[in-house]
Structure 1
Amino acid sequence: MSRSTSHSFSRSRLAALAVACAAVSGTLATLPAHPAAAADVAIHDIQGATRISPLTGQQVTGVTGVVTGVRTYGSSRGFWFQDTRPDADPATSEGVFVFTSSTPTVKAGDAVTVSATVSEYVPGGASSGNQSLTELTKPTVTVNSSGNPVPVTTVSAASVPSAYAPQGDPAANGSVNKLPLRPRAYALDYYESLEGQNVRVGSSRVVTASDAYGELWVTVKPHENRTKRGGTRYASYEDQNGGRLQIQSLGALDDFPAADVGDVLTGATEGPLDFNQYGGYTLVARELGDLRQSGVERETTRAQKSGELAVATYNVENLDPSDATFDAHAAAIVDHLRSPDIVSLEEIQDNNGAKNDGTVAADATMRKLIDAIVAAGGPRYDWRSIDPENNKDGGEPGGNIRQVFLFNPDRVSFTDRPGGDATTPVGVTSAHGKAALTASPGRVAPGDAAWANSRKPLAGEFTFRGKSVFVIANHFASKGGDQGLTSQYQPPARSSETQRHAQATVVNAFAKDVLKAQPDADVITLGDINDFEFSGTTQRLEAGGGLWSAIKSLPKHERYTYDYQGNSQVLDQILISPSVRAKKAFAYDSVHINSEFHDQISDHDPQVLRFRP
């Protein structure tokens, strides 16, 4: 996935940090200190007991509190302040963000009085489906005193409810924005009841590695769906892991720790609780805990035995000849995957990458990768693929990503049958009880509407020790456009899965065509499926018993290939036909070399299947 998104997207630091901003101009006037006037309203009156302020659009005056954090960068300059005299209602937050537009001159510990306009801002825009953020705009600020204690609320495993979110209001298209908050019942309601407040987490395990934007994720529930290596596994649509919390730096990027999954931020991490479009509730850290490294290392799978065929899938994330990652990818394939016999590569770009000039060939990309593999001590792989039509397969414009088969000719042979091209569908024939592809390599139903602006599956016929093996390489549509887990709409809409469901149905039908021609055929369907092992997409791939996702042979705490917003999850899969599954000696491995590490060379972990055809 190129979240991909699934799960990769790029953004500038300014965009990543410009959260909670409003499209208005504000001014900040720091006036001479004088005794605070009686507040017309308190912060908890502004926040109210729902996600939407009861005072939206109104002018408020005399709002008092202590500054808890100041943001001096990006287009979201401003400060948070908090009332030191809370009310008795756990649903009403005592903190709020003040958007100033210019660099604030207040500092943490200042006692201030603010007059401003109450505003509701949706990070990412209304179409994102995100919750609304209550803030104050066009402020006038009076500093009354300095050096005051900063109030703080501790967030812990005991304070975060097990249930994640309430059902949205059917009368509001499923929105939770105007529902009364129940912070003792739902994790999202609990975090909302702290929106804008200064919060602290104690020693917390990292569950998504730090990135280039001064962000990482921790869990405050250390036993919640813990993976073997220290992450938090996304187990189902009903088990979203409420202990996850994004940590973002209020300071310089250079000061942010380079953390991997399983590391621990020890001591206290403290700062205002914000809401942004890149992960929802975020502790914007004024103080960061110290990093204690866990020593997690990149995994290495075992080598296949002489009679075993090793088939792998690996998303190399928009690889083109200008990239600096070829040696690292080669080392991953040779040293960590132990040179599989067949490797389905996803996201191989054309020879000039994102340059949008009509180039579609990828021979230079592949030649550079194969040479790097040889230099790393691996075999000289051969390769097969089909060039896509220009800009018809989605992904980065001009990049023309596609799937490619790498194979070791000393161990396996490829059955070449002419006729496959970008638009001609591959078919299946049967002779003497044996299946054969009409074209090898060939593309599966490339004209079907399921593949609009998406990668078309690549089918190939291989021979290992005299036995045929059919491999279908896939890269399904990404999750782009889905509503986030912290969406105002609960449950959030997964609009992107409509296309993946259609894609899965097409691939399932093609696999059944092979099995109809030869019921005991060894069929491998693999790649970046961009969906979970429990998803409707996987169910459609498995429909009728023709295929089965072999990642489900692993213990649950090892089932993940990708890490997104604190959730270790499955996106890459290898599905096997009944004949392969019946071979009790098959072995499956999700080889964790990328998803858990801050210095990853791809956002996906590769998968390897070993079996005896």
Structure 2
Amino acid sequence: MNLLRPPAAYARLPQSLIARACLALCASAAIPAFATELPQPLPFAQDWSNAALLSANNNWSGVPGIVGYVVSGPTTGGVDPQTVLAPATTPNVTVNQTNPVSYQTGGVAEFALTNPVVALAGSNAQHAPNIVLHLDTRGWQSVRVSYLLRDLDSSADNAVQAVALQYRIGTSGNFINLPAGYVADATTAGSATQTTPVDVVLPAAANDQAHVQVRILTTNASGNDEWVGVDDIAVAGTPIGGGVNAPIATNCPANVAFDTGVGGSFNVSASDSDSVVNGATLGAVPAGITLSSFTPATLDGGSASGTIGVAASVPAGTYPVQVNFGNNELQTANCTVSVTVSGLITIPQIQGSGATSPRDGQQVTTRGVVTRINSNGYFLQDPVGDGDPTTSDGIFVFTSSTPGGVVAVGNELRVTGTVDEFAVGSGAQALARPVTEIVNSSASLISTGNSIAPLVITLPEIEEGELERYEGMLVHIASPLTASQNYFQGRYGQVTLSADGRLEKPTNRHPANSAEALAMADDNARRRILLDDGSSIQNPDPTPYIGANNTLRAGDTLPNGVTGVIDYGLATNNSDGLSDYRIHPTEAVNFVRSNPRPATPPAVGGNVRVASFNVLNYFSTIDQSGASCFPSGTRSDCRGADSAAELTRQRDKIIPAINGLGADVVGLIEIENNGNGATQDLVNRLNAAAGAGTWAAAALPPTGSGSDAIRQAIIYKPARVALVGGSVADSNPVHNRPPIAQGFALPNGERFAVVVNHFKSKNCDPAPSGGNVDSGDGQGCYNASRVQQAQALMQFIGQLQATTGDVAVVGDLNAYGKEDPILALTNAGLVDQIARFNPFGYSYVFDGESGYLDHALTTASLSAKVTGAALWTINADEPSIIDYNLEFKQPACANCGPDYYSPTVYRSSDHDPVVLGLSLVKAINGGGNRDTLVGTAGDDRLTGGAGADTLTGGGGSDVFVYTSLRDGIDTITDFAPGTDRLDLSALLASINADAGTAIAQGMVRLVDTPAGLSVQIDSDGSMGAGVARPLVVLQGVTAAQFQPARDAGL
């Protein structure tokens, strides 16, 4: 109200009122300054514009005269807050919240909005949140309480959020409801701007009291509660005895901070209990600091508010800004705000244009928008950038754990911390490209709801390392990408990606250190990027990027690229291993199954199949307490399954994989060196699945099986091949896993030998010396030893050729296709059949690059009989997470990812098996007369030649060859459709006939006769004048039984 005063002078307070005021002031001086329950003298005001008032949850020590509580009241929704009268004792407030829609805990909360406010919302746990004002009304009457209720919830929620006003005298007893202050519903669905003013004069009992408590309270509403802000609180009254003009009460923050080049604004307010505050000005301030807006009060005791702007042009420094207020009775009051403008360092300035920051070790203040949150920090990006393509606009802020509070995607933050260069590993690559980070940081909110458009880039890099310019930035890699490695998918949530298809090991295709190999290595580096899950948690649950059939195969693709934030990290589990740039996705990653699982091995032709299979430490001795394994006789040499359950799981993958090869002879690698124990155990289980007697094991060589815990072994199908002599091993001491060889004979008498190998590993343990040190050419450690083993192998093969010149060399040679050990073999005369039949052969993936360590080479004589060589890609392309092991999976590890194991052939090992097709048929040739040719019990190739011949194939699958129209008229006495075959290719070529159309054109005719099926040739077809000439009669065969495509390639 406006007080009426004598014109000559203002009336004075009675002495008793002055004395009571003095007592109040004296009492205040004796109590700590922030005792929040200390009654505050009138006039009293609070509009929450000072963000420093509340700094910690449930701590009101910085807010004079106000405390928030939670009443443990009714548990059901919709209770009228006017009926909740009991006092509360549990202080409650959650500070620094930014989103009233997503924060749904309830209680009392501080929201750091553009117009900050303290708000109330009920919940099942926070039944009746409230704030209590502690007031000293001594010397005052007609005490008026006013405030503004603000609907903060913009969602569709539409709870009936009732708010009550209550009071009590002193600090004990129940509160008394004030019906005049009751608001039946302070919120509306979809509105965050609705306000409801409350203005109530307290009952006379509240006059002239040392302690009056005023409580503003809501309760748990029916449905989803909505946040109701309590703002612009003002308490004033009329002096008892009259005559004294109340002063203007100011409400200004003590300190505010802004950034140079950015600026901002802050709010101030003032009120007068018996007058209207209607003016404001600023004292002397530098250019750029202005009173940008002012809203006067409209009634006595009302709040006047203003906004003070700080322009981007204000230079760095600290400025005392005095705000002067005036009212309609010519009174004035002022407050001083300390405005600090800091020198902002932009993110591009921090990053610089090199691999390291020019501000490494310096404390900086910067700002940016949060683009992604990781488990140990977040990425911050300048929304404008500096326009320099060589400097990144993004940076990582390291927090060690998942950040919260003001850190949310889309929030613009002001961050202060120390610039640090973090090396992700100890290798040369990692040391050369440390990650620029901000550490030991603090952050404050500038704004919410921002977005950053990803920068569109492509791979390959033009120059290796150019992704440095995007470190910390949100990008979209528009290039189609291929999964090149998934080994660490389950362990670290990481997949190696590459542009332009999958990566091949350079020395798989080119000799080490050649210009071509070096160029390919550079190309690989420019095409590669790591897809990371943004988490430092091992064995994440769920496993990221798993697709159909619980797998992600190397070779699967992302046709539309990927969107995420770039940084740098390890590509392996070794700190000194490969490292490269990574992308942490910000959008869903959905791989396309571009590399389907092969159900069967590729066709390789021939009549004999030789295979090799790395059985990944198949031990019949379980690696458990008390186990004893060769050579030490202790558990330390046991490398296989850790339990009976794991061994069963291993067998359930290995056995169908070996049986599925369709091979007649299989060389086994990495099987336990316990005599023939593990080998016979595997054979027994293979026979249990395939039928008794299907498989047998070659005997141990008389010279032993080496000094390692694992060895090679040979198994075969006795119904298909027979042993020739015993197995032999190369006794050259250069081998600790000596090659093992065995001769075989087919029923047709054809012979061949198989040598199974496992050369020294590329691993550098134990530490090598001399030529075995890793030279950095891509061949790894112990390359010199492998070359010596290759040379010894050639000598060993020379000894075998005394029995048969046809030798197949298979196994894990631990060298890729064009590395020195393989060149030593091929330069000495062996033929690389994988290279011959496969444009990109691979059996193993390492560091994201594929190549074949598992080989199929033959002597030159046998090479002429090779019909195909292939790799059955059931293992190397599959993630290790699906293998037989139980560790690092649920349920053995409760916090790990799921167990994706299934008893299938896929990931039965880490190497792919090799299959070699051989055509070992007996060639039986006639002359120019009437010959009678009889084949063997095996597979034969019979060529009668000119003249009317009588041919009998015998057992096996036989081929009857015709090269000329003069080859007839023959009789085949035992042609078996579906087993035997006519070879008419040379004959048809001689008359310019196409096998695919020869029957349709009448150039080949099939005629049933009493003697059997007559195969006839008409050189000019059904359209010509010539007549068909009988070539051969298949006794006992009819045209209905004969399938031209199957039985003659027609």
- Output the TM-score relative to the length of structure 1: 0.70
Aligned residue identity for 2:490: A
Deviation, structure 1 residue 299: 4.7
Matched, 1:371 2:684: yes
Match of 2:497 among 196, 211, 218: 218
Aligned residue identity for 1:406: I
In proportion to residue count, which structure has more strand?
2
Aligned residue identity for 1:85: V
Match of 1:54 among 344, 355, 358: 358
Q: Cα deviations across residues 190-226 of structure 1 (Å, max 9, x unaligned)?
A: 22222222222358454236531323333343xx479
Match of 2:669 among 346, 360, 363: 346
Deviation, structure 1 residue 136: 2.4
Q: Cα deviations across residues 400-434 of structure 1 (Å, max 9, x unaligned)?
A: 232222222333344565xxxxxxxxxxxxxxxxx
Matches within 5 A, 1:138-537: 138-143=439-444, 144-157=446-459, 160-161=460-461, 185-186=462-463, 188-202=464-478, 204-208=480-484, 210=486, 211-213=489-491, 214-221=493-500, 224=501, 235-236=509-510, 237=517, 238-239=519-520, 240-241=523-524, 242-250=526-534, 253-254=541-542, 256-258=544-546, 259-265=552-558, 269-278=562-571, 280-294=580-594, 296-301=596-601, 308-321=607-620, 322-323=646-647, 324-335=649-660, 337-338=661-662, 340-348=663-671, 350=672, 361=674, 363-377=676-690, 379-385=694-700, 393=708, 400-414=709-723, 417=726, 440-445=727-732, 447-448=733-734, 451=735, 456-465=737-746, 466=749, 468-480=751-763, 493-494=776-777, 497-515=780-798, 518=801, 521-537=805-821
Aligned residue identity for 2:654: H
- Distance in 2 of aligned mates of 1:142 and 1:364: 65
Deviation, structure 1 residue 247: 1.5
Match of 2:844 among 553, 559, 562: 562
Q: Is the 8 A contact 2:365 2:417 kept in 1?
A: no
Report SS of the residue matched to 2:861.
helix
Q: Is the 8 A contact 1:319 1:347 kept in 2?
A: yes
Deviation, structure 1 residue 301: 3.1
Q: Is the 8 A contact 2:870 2:916 kept in 1?
A: yes
Matches within 5 A, 1:9-158: 36-38=258-260, 40-56=344-360, 58-72=361-375, 77-105=376-404, 106-126=407-427, 131-143=432-444, 144-157=446-459
Aligned residue identity for 1:70: I
Match of 2:853 among 547, 571, 575: 571
Q: Alignment identity in percent?
A: 25
Q: Which has the higher contact order (CA 8 A, sep 6+)?
A: 1
List alignment gaps of at least 5 residues for structure 1: 1-28, 162-184, 351-359, 394-399, 418-439, 483-490
- Distance in 2 of aligned mates of 1:195 and 1:474: 46
Structure 2 vs 1, CA of residues 577 and 85 (structure 1 numbering), >3 Å: closer, same or farther?
A: same
Aligned residue identity for 1:574: A
- Distance in 2 of aligned mates of 1:36 and 1:480: 56
- Distance in 2 of aligned mates of 1:415 and 1:325: 32
Q: Is the 8 A contact 1:207 1:232 kept in 2?
A: no
Deviation, structure 1 residue 153: 2.0
Structure 2 vs 1, CA of residues 342 and 215 (structure 1 numbering), >3 Å: closer, same or farther?
A: same
Structure 2 vs 1, CA of residues 302 and 126 (structure 1 numbering), >3 Å: closer, same or farther?
A: closer
- Distance in 2 of aligned mates of 1:116 and 1:534: 51
Q: Is the 8 A contact 2:484 2:503 kept in 1?
A: no
Aligned residue identity for 1:64: R
Q: Is the 8 A contact 2:843 2:871 kept in 1?
A: yes
Structure 2 vs 1, CA of residues 247 and 148 (structure 1 numbering), >3 Å: closer, same or farther?
A: same
- Distance in 2 of aligned mates of 1:269 and 1:36: 37
Deviation, structure 1 residue 126: 4.0
Structure 2 vs 1, CA of residues 45 and 534 (structure 1 numbering), >3 Å: closer, same or farther?
A: farther
- Distance in 2 of aligned mates of 1:198 and 1:234: 35
Q: Is the 8 A contact 2:424 2:430 kept in 1?
A: no
List alignment gaps of at least 5 residues for structure 2: 1-94, 98-111, 114-255, 261-342, 511-516, 547-551, 572-578, 621-645, 766-773, 883-906, 921-1050
- Distance in 2 of aligned mates of 1:255 and 1:497: 31
Deviation, structure 1 residue 325: 2.3
Deviation, structure 1 residue 362: 6.2
- Distance in 2 of aligned mates of 1:261 and 1:608: 21
- Distance in 2 of aligned mates of 1:611 and 1:47: 61
Deviation, structure 1 residue 61: 0.8
Q: Is the 8 A contact 1:48 1:93 kept in 2?
A: yes
- Distance in 2 of aligned mates of 1:478 and 1:334: 28
Report SS of the residue matched to 2:596.
coil
- Distance in 1 of aligned mates of 2:760 and 2:430: 20
Deviation, structure 1 residue 250: 3.3
- Distance in 2 of aligned mates of 1:537 and 1:46: 49
Aligned residue identity for 1:382: A
Query: Match of 2:885?
Result: none
Structure 2 vs 1, CA of residues 548 and 195 (structure 1 numbering), >3 Å: closer, same or farther?
A: farther
The count of corresponding residues between Structure 1 and Structure 2 is 489
- Distance in 1 of aligned mates of 2:847 and 2:96: 38
Report SS of the residue matched to 1:290.
coil
Structure 2 vs 1, CA of residues 517 and 528 (structure 1 numbering), >3 Å: closer, same or farther?
A: closer
Q: Cα deviations across residues 244-285 of structure 1 (Å, max 9, x unaligned)?
A: 332222376426232224444466632221222225222122
- Distance in 2 of aligned mates of 1:128 and 1:220: 21
Report SS of the residue matched to 2:436.
strand
Q: Is the 8 A contact 2:424 2:570 kept in 1?
A: yes
Query: Match of 1:597?
Result: 878
Aligned-residue RMSD, C-alpha: 3.6
Q: Is the 8 A contact 1:59 1:115 kept in 2?
A: no
- Distance in 2 of aligned mates of 1:30 and 1:60: 24
Structure 2 vs 1, CA of residues 456 and 225 (structure 1 numbering), >3 Å: closer, same or farther?
A: same
Query: Match of 2:915?
Result: 608
Structure 2 vs 1, CA of residues 559 and 115 (structure 1 numbering), >3 Å: closer, same or farther?
A: same
